[in-house]
Amino acid sequence: MIAAGEVGTVKNGKAARKNAGVQAAGGVLARKVTRLSEHIVEIISDSGEGAQKCGQSFGAIVAQMGLGVWTTEIIPAEIRPPARSVAGASGNRIRIGSKHISNGGNETDLVIAFNEQVLLGRVRANELKPGCTILLESMWRDDRRIATTYADAVDQLLAAGFKVVEIPMDKECRKIVSDPRKGKNMFVLGILCGLYSLDLQTARDQVVLTFGKKSAKVIESNIALLDAGYAWADANLDFKYEVPATKSTEPQIVVNGNTALALGVLASGMEICAMYPITPATSTSHYLSDAFQEVGGVVHQAEDEIAACAFAIGASYAGKCTVTVTSGPGYSLKQEAIGLAVMGEIPLVVINVQRGGPSTGQPTKTEQGDLMTAIFGSHGDAPKVVIAPGTIEECFYSVITARKIAETFNMVVVILSDANLASSQQPFKRPMFDEAWLAPPIDQSAIPAGAKPYDWDPKTGLARRFIPGQPGGMHTLTGLAHDENSHVAYDAEINQRAMRARSLKLATLQKTLKPPTVFGDRTGDLLVIGWGSTKGAIEEAVEGLRQEGKKVSSTHLTFIQPMPPGIKEILAGFKKVITIENNWSDSPVDEMIDESNRRYSALAMLLRSRYLVDVDCWSECRGTPLKPNTVRRVILEAIA
């Protein structure tokens, strides 16, 4: 991994302040162009100032140019936090690179901020790289009430070693629009396009797309702002970056994880999504509400999560496998109904876009805290399938797989995404529609005489599903213990047999799974195991260390219940095994912690119990996606 190149002639300190915004005499700057293999840029503002839109458009333009890209939303906890507040930073973080980018990366290399307060928020969160370049709106210097705070903040930033370039965004935008609050973001987009030597026409096309539904006048003025920003950067900034692109020869699709899930719902043939709004899951249903209009389908916004899950179960029971989308607190509420689907053997897909917990926790922040609940949640023994996509692309395909498994095995399939995947964007190979993805039509053929609604195959646990409308199949499905005829039965024998059948289905599914692939050699000093959204960060760190000759490999589990075959063999090839996760585990060096009371992270706990291997763990719950550098540090400590 290559860090940002040194920026040559950034105007520093007092000189910067004096020169910033001043057209250079003669119009030609002695410009230093730095070639980079990757860079991370952040655009932040008060919420409502459009930094999100600016960042997303920038990400899209960069992707169009053929660069690898990963965008991450920066979302404050409140919808409209007070303006100019440290906690109010709202915007987007875009990691761009010559190669494929698999995660949000480490600290930011360049940040463009609409005020100094939101910037301080990012500094305090340790999200900016030491010496990072800061492009800062300078209008506050002229605001009598704010000037002193502003100047102090800038001095602090300079003292901390950041390179600050002040830009008169407001003043420049006023030359084009009367309300710069509404247009600054496109001016800034122009600056960025200039700074990264992007194709201006591609950028203009993107602006047209971004404002597609707005009037021609709006589009025109935004393009004018973009052009102005581009020109301003060209005339006033004495540095530029170039990240060479390797253009993809294949069509690519750029969406965030939630949209990918929604597209997966469409592609899987499901036509009902039952939900109740909850961050960060909801945008999946926003997208579906619109897209369903084209292909036929309904998003049912229920009165609560309990109803949403029950509604999905009713629809699935009636023959249409249905999805319910939620996040942690909503997932907790669905537990009882999920148990019913398990007991009744009703196919059901539940998507849990995890957020920080417990309780309402951290709505906009990421965490992998729901793995145990997904596997063991709901009372009694309620076996269900749990899969965790590791990339945006996997978000899409996981839904298709989930629907298929749900209907083949008459099981509940839980998909564990998280806030990190939900709002991150990354290009992946454009899927081409495949008829085999779709759900089969509802079977309304007559049930042969003598067939039973729970005719469990003694070898696989599977039984054919009876769907209302099928003559001869009348029975009453119940959440109570029941026999093969769906008759309520509490006999010791019957309960044992039914429990066995429901559990056996997991083993049957397991036999169809492929062993996980190992990233790196199959033997070595350390194996890192991860699951879900940390995939990119873990693999990037492992790849870097392997290039340095370290004997480290990693493997990533997509199926967590059931676990695929072959894991034991993989574990056996390494001297040490560690899971790295975004959930809680006790640090073994804490004073109160010893082997008898240490709480392990979720996957480590599962692997330890299943394979009787001393799987160590490292985890954090900072609400932020795992950084490759953090993983790198953890690995180096583990092999030290």
Partner 1 sequence: MNELNVLNGANGASMVAPMAAPINVNDCLLQLYEEHYELEDYQKGVPRWCTGCGDNAILTAVQRLCRDEKLAPEKTVFVSGIGCSSRLPHYMNTYGFHSLHGRALPIAEGVRLARPDLKVFVNMGDGDCCSIGAAHWIHAIRYNMNMTAMLHDNNIYGLTKKQASPTSPIGLKTNTTPRGSYLEALNPLTVTLGVSNVSFVAQVVDWIPKLLYQTLSAAYHHKGFSFVRIIQRCPEWLPTHMDEYLHDPQRVLLLHHENGLEIDSELAKRYTKMEEHDPSDLNRAREIASGSDPIPVGILYRNENVPLYEEVRADTRLRTTSLVKNGLEAEFDKFTIWPEGHARATA
Q: Site residues for partner 1, window 58-97 (CB under 8 A)?
A: 63-64
Q: Is 438 in the site for partner 1 (CB under 8 A)?
A: yes
Nearest approach in angstroms of CB 306 to partner 1 is 7
Q: Which is nearer to partner 1, 1 or 306 (CB)?
A: 306
| Stretch 530-589 residues interacting with partner 1 (CB under 8 A) | none
Nearest approach in angstroms of CB 482 to partner 1 is 9
How big is the chain, counted in residues?
A: 640
The correct pick among 41, 267, 498, 615 for binding partner 1 (CB under 8 A) is 267
Stretch that binds partner 1, among 30-38, 77-85, 312-320, 608-616 (CB under 8 A): 312-320
Q: Which is nearer to partner 1, 176 or 477 (CB)?
A: 477
DSSP secondary structure letter of residue 356: B
Nearest approach in angstroms of CB 332 to partner 1 is 15
Q: Sign of torsion, CA 264 268 271 274?
A: negative
Q: Is 8 in the site for partner 1 (CB under 8 A)?
A: no
- Contact at 8 Å (CB) between 48 and 115? no
Nearest approach in angstroms of CB 311 to partner 1 is 4
Stretch that binds partner 1, among 100-108, 117-125, 304-312, 530-538 (CB under 8 A): 304-312
The correct pick among 263, 400, 411, 526 for binding partner 1 (CB under 8 A) is 263
Q: Is 310 in the site for partner 1 (CB under 8 A)?
A: yes
The correct pick among 302, 489, 506, 639 for binding partner 1 (CB under 8 A) is 302
| Stretch 331-360 residues interacting with partner 1 (CB under 8 A) | 336-337, 340, 344
Of the candidates 340, 331, 332, the one whose C-alpha atom is nearest the C-alpha of residue 313 is 340
Q: What are the C-alpha distances in Å from 204 to residues 221, 245, 637?
A: 11, 19, 48
Stretch that binds partner 1, among 3-11, 462-470, 586-594, 596-604 (CB under 8 A): 462-470
Tell me how far apart the alpha carbons of residues 97 and 219 are, in angstroms, rounded to a whole number: 29
Q: Counting Cβ atoms within 10 Å, is residue 290 exposed (0-12), middle (13-18) or buried (19+)?
A: exposed
Stretch that binds partner 1, among 40-48, 50-58, 286-294, 598-606 (CB under 8 A): 286-294
The correct pick among 473, 520, 530, 536 for binding partner 1 (CB under 8 A) is 473
Tokens of 361: 């926790």
The correct pick among 81, 97, 180, 269 for binding partner 1 (CB under 8 A) is 269
Q: Is 251 in the site for partner 1 (CB under 8 A)?
A: yes
- Contact at 8 Å (CB) between 423 and 257? yes
What distance, in Å, lies between the first and last C-alpha atoms of the chain? 21
Buried b / exposed e along 494-510 (16+ C-beta atoms within 10 A): beebbeebbebbbebbe
Q: Counting Cβ atoms within 10 Å, is residue 296 exposed (0-12), middle (13-18) or buried (19+)?
A: exposed
Chain centre to alpha carbon of residue 482 = 41
Q: Is 169 in the site for partner 1 (CB under 8 A)?
A: no
Of the candidates 540, 639, 554, the one whose C-alpha atom is nearest the C-alpha of residue 106 is 540
Q: Is 471 in the site for partner 1 (CB under 8 A)?
A: yes
Number of residues near partner 1 (by CB under 8 A): 73
Query: Helix, strand, or coil here: 110?
Result: strand
Stretch that binds partner 1, among 253-261, 405-413, 561-569, 621-629 (CB under 8 A): 253-261
Q: Is 488 in the site for partner 1 (CB under 8 A)?
A: yes
The correct pick among 30, 144, 433, 493 for binding partner 1 (CB under 8 A) is 433
Q: Which residues contact residue 280 at a Cβ distance below 8 angstroms, ignoring those fewer than 6 apart?
A: 258, 327, 353, 355, 363, 364, 419, 422, 423
Q: Which is nearer to partner 1, 337 or 412 (CB)?
A: 337
Nearest approach in angstroms of CB 294 to partner 1 is 4
Q: Is 300 in the site for partner 1 (CB under 8 A)?
A: yes
| Stretch 189-228 residues interacting with partner 1 (CB under 8 A) | none
The correct pick among 8, 82, 131, 472 for binding partner 1 (CB under 8 A) is 472
Tell me how far apart the alpha carbons of residues 98 and 69 are, in angstroms, rounded to a whole number: 9
Tell me how far apart the alpha carbons of residues 102 and 69 are, in angstroms, rounded to a whole number: 8
Q: Which is nearer to partner 1, 138 or 259 (CB)?
A: 259
In this structure, how many other beta carbons lie within 10 angstroms of the beta carbon of residue 332?
18
Q: Sign of torsion, CA 230 48 627 417?
A: negative
Nearest approach in angstroms of CB 426 to partner 1 is 11
Stretch that binds partner 1, among 96-104, 294-302, 490-498, 530-538 (CB under 8 A): 294-302
Tell me how far apart the alpha carbons of residues 52 and 43 are, in angstroms, rounded to a whole number: 8
Q: Is 312 in the site for partner 1 (CB under 8 A)?
A: yes
In this structure, how many other beta carbons lie within 10 angstroms of the beta carbon of residue 596?
5
Nearest approach in angstroms of CB 262 to partner 1 is 9
| Stretch 410-429 residues interacting with partner 1 (CB under 8 A) | 427
Q: Which is nearer to partner 1, 126 or 445 (CB)?
A: 445
